Amino acid sequence: MFDKLVSLRKQPLERSCDRVIDALTTFGKGRPPQDDLTLVGLEYLG
């Protein structure tokens, strides 16, 4: 997951969050999560 996050760091925040969710879905082999998921994205523009 760390490698995925590093590869996305130059992407717009919304796209990065979408790709993280895609990666989690792929990791879970398409099965729905067994618990809630919360994804928080922070974008530094300075």
Phi and psi, residue 29, nearest 5°: 55, 35
Nearest C-alpha neighbor of 8 from the set 36, 26, 18, 34: 18
Identify the pLDDT of residue 40.
Answer: 94
Reduced 3-state DSSP string for 1-46: CHHHHHHHCCCCHHHHHHHHHHHHHHHCCCCCCCCCCCCCCCCCCC
**Which residues contact residue 39 at a Cβ distance below 8 angstroms, ignoring those fewer than 6 apart?**
17, 20, 21
Confidence of residue 43 (pLDDT cuts 50, 70, 90): confident
Taking only the tens place, the pLDDT of each residue in 3-41 is: 988 999 899 999 999 999 999 999 999 898 888 889 999
